[in-house]
Amino acid sequence: MITRIHGRLSGMRGDSAIVDVHGLFYEVMLPGGLAQRLTRSLAPDEAREVTFHTLHYIEGWGGGGAQRPRLIGFTEELDREFFELLTTVSGLGTKTALRALTIPIAEMAAAIEAGDARTLAKLPRIGPRMADKIVAELKGKAWKFTLLPPGAPLASPAKAKPAEQPFVAEAREILLQVGYRASDAAAAIEKVLQERPDIATSQALVQEVFRQRGSKQG
């Protein structure tokens, strides 16, 4: 089984990357957000080295039709692990789950743990009914993924993601407990940290979020 693939990104085909590994070309299906980012950023004739952590997927399995082996790729092992968790939801297929991954994993996991079905329902191909089902089946199982750093949707393999400080995760949890939606909490925290890199405690971070919100409302 192929668990990781490294090579040159030859091009994009829809939501799949074509990876050149010493003259062998592999088609790797990607999450929606990552595919969009790579498509926008890939310059003509650019030679970019990429590494994807992969899952082996048989398309058409159990459907009675032709079965085709596929590779699904992620830039981080935890992204792959979250995807495996997500596809345990009854009725949520592999391709639908891939298309839905257009926001940061930490934000999606936080929405699940906060019971924020509204945020999940806005994801491609999800909708209110599936969002409720995701929350019902995964709440309590996604906490570890809320500790991933906020940032771009399944960030480009060209950029490594910095480790998140524990106080940031604590601040996010506080905001969720006082009624913030997961997406709003993530955006507010990111804005504060960009403007105030000196902040180093959850209390100071939350206070600054509240201060900025008060200034906006005033």
The structure's pTM equals 0.67
pLDDT at 161: 46
Q: Report, as an integer, the average pLDDT of 190-201.
A: 86
* CA 156 to the chain's CA centroid: 11
* Tens-digit pLDDT profile for residues 14-58: 889 999 999 999 999 999 888 888 888 776 666 688 999 999 888
pLDDT at 160: 41
Q: Report, as an integer, the average pLDDT of 175-192.
A: 85
pLDDT at 37: 86
Q: Which of 13, 182, 19, 10 is nearest to 109 (CA)?
A: 182
* Lookup: tokens for 42: 């890939």
pLDDT band for 148, please (50, 70, 90 cuts). Answer: low
pLDDT at 154: 53
Query: DSSP for 88-128?
Result: TSTT--HHHHHHH--S-HHHHHHHHHHT-HHHHHTSTTTHH
Q: Report, as an integer, the average pLDDT of 132-159.
A: 73
Which residues, in sequence order, are CB contacts of 37 under 8 Å at separation 6+?
A: 152, 153, 154, 155, 156
Distance CA 66, CA 84 (A): 23
Phi, psi of 192 (to 5 degrees): -65, -45
Comparing 202 with 147, the larger pLDDT belongs to 202
Quickly list H helices, the chain. Answer: 32-41, 77-86, 94-100, 105-114, 117-121, 127-138, 166-177, 182-195, 202-217
Radius of gyration of the chain (CA): 19
Helix (H, G, I), strand (E, B) or coil at 58: strand
pLDDT at 152: 46
* Tens-digit pLDDT profile for residues 1-13: 788 999 999 888 8
* Tens-digit pLDDT profile for residues 79-130: 999 999 999 999 999 999 999 998 888 889 989 988 999 999 999 999 999 9
Comparing 187 with 164, the larger pLDDT belongs to 187
* Tens-digit pLDDT profile for residues 150-167: 554 454 444 444 455 788
pLDDT band for 149, please (50, 70, 90 cuts). Answer: low
160: left (phi over 0), alpha (psi -120 to 50) or beta: beta
Q: Which of 137, 151, 44, 141 is nearest to 105 (CA)?
A: 151
Whether residue 196 is predicted with pLDDT greater than 50 in this model: the reply is yes
